[in-house]
A and B are shown apart, each in its own frame.
Chain A
Amino acid sequence: MRTCGRTGRVTRRELVKTLTLGMGSLLPLSAAGTLGQAVWPHPAGAAAAGTPSAPPRRGGELTIGLYRTLDQLDPAVYWGPPETMVTQMVFDSLVYLGNDLNIYPGLATSWEASKDGTSITFKLRQGVKFHDGTDFNAAAVKFHFDRCADPATKSQYARSLLGPYDSTVVQDDSTVQLRLKEPFAPIFDSLSQGYLGIPSPTAVKKYGQDFQNHLVGTGPFTFVEWARDTHITLARNANYRWGTAFPGRTNAGPPYLERLTFKFVPEQGTRDALMNGRKELLVEAWPGPRSLPGWRRDPAFTTYEGVSPGTTWFNFINVQKPPTNELAVRQAINYAVSKDTIVKVFYPGIARPTWNLIGPTSFGYDPALDHVYTFDPGKAKQLLDAAGWKVGPNGGRVKDGVPLHIDVFTSGFQTENYKELMLTMLQDVGFSTKLIAGTPADRTVAGSKGLYHVINREFEASDPHYLVDLFASKNVGTFAWSMNKDPQLDQMLTEQDVTVDRKARYALVSSATRRILEQGYVVPIYITLFVWVTATAVRNFHMDARSWYPYFQDAWIQA
């Protein structure tokens, strides 16, 4: 964890490595609906603790032990999941994503999309004030979106979220129209994210590039201070009267908690100590590996376990590099790897094997794709035989004198420590293998250049637009690490992006996923849980539908 927290930009998913020794309950994953649904598992032991009907009590502070420091916080500029935990408390967005994966009003009370899907007109909530006292209005929305789209802002993510952004037009103080160059199905999901939460234009103009040290939004919490190496503090916005409740968030009024302090504690042991040392109080943190089973049992703590939407943990298979340029070889890899064994050995109680690319809590998850492949080494050998890869004298397969060799990348996190086991499984069917280790940064560079045959990735996001980033041929050289240029897949991916009708889009996403799996562009491995632990005195600890991050305005502390 030490290296994980510091040596580079690490998504929270990599943190899951901390949980791999967890042994407790089975995964509380229920079968999701056809369109995919954010699962809301019951926290273990929550029923036993306190009376659920108790009225919320105001007051108190919450300390959150975070696994790394935060890099940047300007919503127009930054990218990073844990940073979003802060921005979505300071900034309100136009709309929200409920746990049922539907869109609910936020700063926009209603909206209407044009027939061709290229413009959306939002009616804005009135009487909303930024933390600096200035008024929220249509001009503020335009200011933020224009700023995100401006190349000079050097946006790392917000600009991508806006897709084919054209312009924003202020129609009157409380009416604003978002114009797109073409329809963009993910737009509402984008607008519900912390990156597109609306900052105060007055404050942005005043502080310029230093705005990230003086965040001003309309959200339930105000920005107090950010000490880059130690903590960030937010305080209750007592004037917060414009909140909305939706599935997953119950409190529309001001928060109950007076203060939130995010402490940056890269060392797990220290995070655990932080928790244990203040047992009677209000601390909550990510658990360390040894302590998770204990926390699951201990009535003084409550664990919240869930799966955030996005891809499963998978590996790209490079289609440009021989021998994985052959379909049979890629399929053989998929048949040869036993995900059950991997999970049993490395991630018991914390992950479940998968053959699908899209996780069960995502829009676009199709249960029918859970079994495109099975563990079947016989079938793998058969495919390789048929493709002309014959077993040589030393057990390794050879075709035309060339050995069946693949290079597999690992960045050494515990989330990838199954790689050696995976390689022995591949050797069992006749592959010769080499494991190449590097940093997360090396992984990104190697992936974009297609240096190896198998390289892992995962992407946490609530809209399947990530399939475009990860598999469209135009992104070969950036994030499409299978290096595939597949016109048929490109067509599906382009089409799903412009299909606004959800049912139709779901069907397209499903066929695109099927194509990716059947063509062996990936080999998926497992799905993991994310776990939060709070002192049981912390009540109404509700998670968002996107990243399994808490909406802190619901939470309160039992006396």
Chain B
Amino acid sequence: MVKFIGRRVLTTLPALLGVYTLVFVVLHVLPSDPALLISQGSASRSQLESLRHEYGLDRPVWQQYADDLGALLQGRLGRSIRYNEPVSGLILEFLPATLELALVGLGLAVLLGIVLGTLAALRPHGWIDNLSTIAALSGVSIPSFWLGLMLIFVFSLSLGWLPVTTGTPWQQLIMPAVTLGLYSMGVISRLARSSLVQTLHQEFIVTARAKGLPPRSVILRHALRNSLIPVVTIVGVELGNLLSGTVVVETVFARPGLGRLITDSITYRDYPVLQSTLLVAACGYVLANMVVDISYHYLDPRIREGRAS
């Protein structure tokens, strides 16, 4: 297992370097000047030059790339230009809110997705199946910024059920989590349905039924468990999507978090923050996929025993 994880880590390093390089290039192609933006008060030309020098913005671009990469490899994330705080501290400050949102959103998506998918699979083309098709289709096609605004409009402004920024943490979490999770819910429910339908046609299910096992046991213990592998795979991918989705949702709902930190930092051309937060997001994606791979070992004894992989 250790060897497996080690190999996975090694294979993701080029991907992370690619992310870092891409972000660096995009940032430096944009017309911008963090020193100018930060000294909007007033600064003479010479003061601006000296600010640029202190921030290291007067170095040749290739040198900035190499220096920053070197610092990053040594675990030094630098200081935010906008906040004048260590980037690592900012990430630790903003990450929990984002993780909370992404995990609750994912939890909702998985729970609702599997329940809907299972119900639909039991009676293919029945009314539940049709309904869940519509739900999944809407979930996948409604853009989250629009859905978020509609939820605020209906549940906060019209019905007054949920406050937008006041209220308990849980009240504040519901609408953003639903907005975030609906897309994944659609994907998961469709996949759970088709996977379960396939499993239900397999011989061991026929055997189980013939043995006289109660339908509940057939479906939950045998069929569902066997059909979960593709679902788990997609959950890993969806966690990555959810993490990037928080950028939009946090902005719409004015929630603090990594997503908002990223969008604000783009406005300020806060290079150190952007480089590091985007890398952290990429790591999250990679980590989620790794966890999925590992979870196969527990879900499916066949993979566990064929450990040679």
Query: Chain A residues in contact with chain B, CB under 8 A?
Result: 2, 6-9, 11, 71-72, 74, 77-80, 151-152, 154, 156-157, 159-160, 209, 212, 228-229, 265-267, 269-270, 273, 439-441, 444-445, 448-449, 459, 461, 465-466, 469, 474-475, 477-479
Contacts and interface: CB of A to CB of B under 8 A. Distances in A.
Interface residues of B, number: 37
Given A157-B42, A160-B44, A445-B31, A266 B36 contact: no
B163 to A, nearest CB: 8
B38 A267 contact: no
B84 A212 contact: yes
Interface string B8-37: 000000000000000000000001110011
B84 A209 contact: yes
Contacts of B47: 159-160
Contact of A448 (B36, B38, B79): B36
Contacts of B254: 2, 6, 266-267
A479 B42 contact: yes
A209 B79 contact: yes
Interface string B227-262: 000000000000000000000000100101000100
A159 B44 CA distance: 10
B260 A9 contact: no
9 contacts: A9-B38, A11-B40, A72-B84, A151-B54, A160-B47, A265-B165, A469-B44, A477-B45, A478-B36
Contact of B32 (A445, A461, A477): A445
Given A151-B50, A152-B54, A160-B47, A8 B267 contact: yes
B54 A474 contact: no
B297 interface: no
B279 interface: no
Contact of B51 (A78, A154, A270, A273): A154
Contacts of B93: 228
A71 B270 CA distance: 13
Contacts of B268: 8-9, 441
B263 interface: yes
Contacts of A77: 84
Nearest to B79: A209
Contacts of B264: 6-8
A7 B38 contact: no
A11 B40 CA distance: 10
A97 to B, nearest CB: 17
Contact of A270 (B33, B42, B84, B166): B166
Given A6-B254, A270-B164, A469 B42 contact: yes
Nearest to B157: A269
Contacts of A78: 84
A270 B165 contact: yes
B45 A79 contact: no
The 9 closest A-B pairs by CB, nearest first: A79-B41, A229-B256, A469-B42, A157-B41, A8-B267, A151-B50, A156-B39, A154-B54, A72-B84
A441 B32 contact: yes
B33 to A, nearest CB: 7
A444 B36 contact: yes
Interface of B: 31-33, 36-45, 47-48, 50-51, 53-55, 79, 82-84, 93, 164-166, 251, 254, 256, 260, 263-264, 267-269
Given A154-B51, A157-B42, A157-B43, 8 more contacts: A71-B82, A72-B84, A79-B41, A154-B84, A156-B39, A160-B42, A445-B31, A445-B37
A445 B84 contact: no
Contacts, number: 109
Nearest to B84: A72
Nearest to A80: B41
A501 to B, nearest CB: 23
Contacts of A439: 267
B181 to A, nearest CB: 23
A8 B48 CA distance: 19
B273 to A, nearest CB: 12
Interface centre among A229, A469, A474 (most CB of B within 10 A): A229
Given A7-B267, A156-B38, A160-B44, A273 B166 contact: yes
Contacts of B55: 154
A151 B165 contact: no
Contacts of B37: 9, 441, 444-445
A156 B41 contact: yes
B140 to A, nearest CB: 27
Of the listed residues B43, B251, B256, the one surrounded by the most CB atoms of chain A closer than 10 A to its CB is B43
A229 to B, nearest CB: 4
Contacts of B263: 6-7
A432 B47 CA distance: 39
A209 B83 CA distance: 11
B40 to A, nearest CB: 6
Contacts of B83: 71-72, 228
Given A2-B254, A74-B84, A79 B54 contact: no
Most buried by A among B39, B41, B42, B48: B41
Nearest to A277: B166
Contacts of B33: 445, 448
A159 B260 CA distance: 31
Contacts of A269: 164
A448 B32 CA distance: 10
Contacts of B251: 6
Contact of A160 (B36, B41, B165): B41
B51 to A, nearest CB: 6
A8 B44 CA distance: 22
A160 B268 CA distance: 21
Contacts of A157: 39, 41-43
Contacts of B267: 7-8, 439-441
A197 to B, nearest CB: 16
A478 B79 CA distance: 24
A48 B118 CA distance: 69
A466 B84 contact: no
Best-buried of A2, A152, A228, A474 by chain B (most CB within 10 Å): A228
Contacts of B38: 9, 79, 156
Given A6-B260, A7-B267, A154-B51, A160 B84 contact: no
Contacts of A448: 33, 36
A127 B37 CA distance: 41
A109 to B, nearest CB: 29
B54 A9 contact: no
Given A151-B54, A445-B31, A478 B45 contact: yes
Nearest to B46: A474
A173 B32 CA distance: 46
B240 to A, nearest CB: 25
Nearest to A158: B41
A267 B47 CA distance: 35
Contacts of B256: 228-229
Nearest to B251: A6
